[in-house]
Amino acid sequence: MAFPQFPKNFLFGTATAAYQIEGGWNEDGKGLSTWDVFTHKPGKVMNGDNGDTACDTYHDFQTDIEIMSELELQAYRFSIAWSRVLPQGKGQVNQKGLDYYNRLVDALLSKNIVPFITMFHWDMPQALFEQYGGFASRETSSYFADYAEVIVKSLGDRVKHWITLNEPWEHAFFGHFVGEHAPGVTNPWTYFKVAHHELLGHGLAVERVRSIAPDAQVGITLSQFPVYPYDDTPQHHEAACFADLFMNRFFLDGLYKGQYPEALFKRMRLFRPKIEADDMKIISRPFDFLGVNYYTRQYARHVWYIPFLRTWVDRDPPPGISHPELGPQGYPEGMRELNKRYREEYGNPIVYITENGTFDQLSVEDGHVKDTLRQRYLELYLTELSKAIKEGSDVRGYFIWTLMDNFEWNSGFSKRFGLVHVDHKTQRRIVKDSGYWVRELIRRQQV
Ligand code: FCB
């Protein structure tokens, strides 16, 4: 196996999210989040799984930090559960919740692991959802900035990398349009409101963080997809352009150009959210880095039966297209394609790949998990990423999704994405072969 090379000071880490790992869903004063409520409703999650216990890191993060240290991982991206810190989403602070994150940060730093904190990884305080529909209303954008202030005041002396939002597209689309994620709303009319208010919340939070911690690096994490037409017909080409506007460019243009793509609202004009005078200025205020979550590309098809959108996207390619080793959804080249776009069209920002990885269902055999496909996946994607850097992209780090097998949203525990195998009954951890491969990759970097 080859070990792609990265520049000096490039960071290798793993990423997680609060609801997917913490458990302790109703302990020490934590308020409910929309994910607590959603997963407790029958039929929402595969096999009836929920995150009540998840990987139980609320009670033991030390074991995982030991593992990170053993694997010589240099950074750790995790998220804060908003309702653990502010049970109602605003107002009264829950000191015990803040204490937990303080202990976690101190433990990471004691092992020289750089913390990257995501402020919002989809677990909206239920109280804000009930009062305002979550990000469906602009009030939530300002409460988000208040929340950012609370956590940065408490942790900002030690934490220098902050990510406002994780994947605003997924939260708006799966949470508020198709309802497969919490809060389970199926209302296309709120989709763009949510997306706009998420970005507004990001902008307000950037401003707030700057005022409290001028030395902090603040970014946002977007899911990103190269979009391809399903075949070479003009309709499918047009669908691919539209899907790109809807999933990628709405966010990139809002953030970097202070303007949503006009072409998108030509078709979606009835859905245009209310944009107040300074909103776009706030949203496009300079920030320090772009976080990119990249897994695979999308194939777009023109369909007549979906009103307005007229577009269907699928991660599965048309028959006959498949990566020879990684299967139909493997597309390492996307790393280069996306970064080229950021260089050429968005001013070559500092980029962190904040998520990349793959799932399987492998179990432990004779004490080992032989996940060779994951190793190969990481190797191929990293090789493409290293090419992007050689071509001029300013990529500063790479976070594998994920440290350990965890609660994969509406797929429950059925998909295993970790470098570390978790037995969800006993919480026993076993480092997979890929985990040791990553350690070797880090060791082989020329410093
Ligand atoms: C991303 C999410 C992350 C995880 C991976 C597999 O969309 O940000 O929480 O579920 O997918």
pLDDT digits (tens, 9 = 90+) for 395-434: 999 999 999 999 999 999 999 999 999 999 999 999 999 9
Residue 364 and residue 355 in contact, taking contact as beta carbons nearer than 8 Å? no
- The rounded percent of the chain whose pLDDT value lies above 90 is 99
Q: Nearest Cα to 141, choosing from 75, 205, 230?
A: 205
State the Cα–Cα distance between residues 64 and 16, nearest whole angstrom.
11
Asked whether residue 447 carries a pLDDT value surpassing 70, the answer given is no
Q: What is the CA(100)–ligand 1 centre distance, in A?
A: 23
Ligand 1 in reach of 170 Cβ (< 6 A): yes
d(CA 176, CA 84): 23
Three-state SS across 111-133?
CCCEEEEEEECCCCEHHHHHHHC
Q: Give the residue from 401, 444, 445 showing the smallest Cα distance to 419.
A: 401
CB 404 within 8 A of CB 422: yes
β-partners of residue 223 are 293
- Residue 359 CA: which ligand 1 atom is closest? 6
Residue 36, pLDDT score: 99
Cα separations in angstroms, 385 against 249, 295, 382, 397: 21, 12, 5, 10
Q: What is the pLDDT of residues 282-338, one digit of tens each?
A: 999 999 999 999 999 999 999 999 999 999 999 999 999 999 999 999 999 999 999
User: How many DSSP H helices and E strands does the chain contain?
Assistant: 16, 13
Q: Is the CB of 311 under 6 A from ligand 1?
A: no
Evaluate if residue 40 carries a pLDDT over 90. Answer: yes
Could you list the beta-strand ranges (E) of 250-378: 289-293, 298-302, 311-314, 350-355
Contact call for residues 254 and 275 (beta carbons, < 8 A): no
Angle between helices 372-390 and 433-443 (to 10 degrees): 30
Of ligand 1's listed atoms, the one at least distance from the Cα of 223 is 7
Radius of gyration of the chain (CA): 21
Q: Are 247 and 293 in contact (CB under 8 A)?
A: no
Please tell me the distance between residue 181's alpha carbon and the centre of ligand 1 in angstroms.
12
Q: How far is the CA of 355 from the centre of ligand 1 (A)?
A: 8
- Using most ligand atoms within 8 A of CB, pick from 401, 404, 405, 406 the residue to mutate for ligand 1: 401
pTM of the model: 0.98
* 283 beta partners: none
Q: Where does residue 271 rank: exposed (0-12), middle (13-18), buried (19+ CB within 10 A)?
A: middle
Compute the distance from residue 119 Cα to the ligand 1 centre, in Å. 15
Q: Residue 417: CB within 6 Å of ligand 1?
A: yes
Looking up tokens 């669908």, which residue turns up? 239
Residue positions annotated with a catalytic role: 167, 355
> Which one-letter DSSP state was computed for residue 52?
S
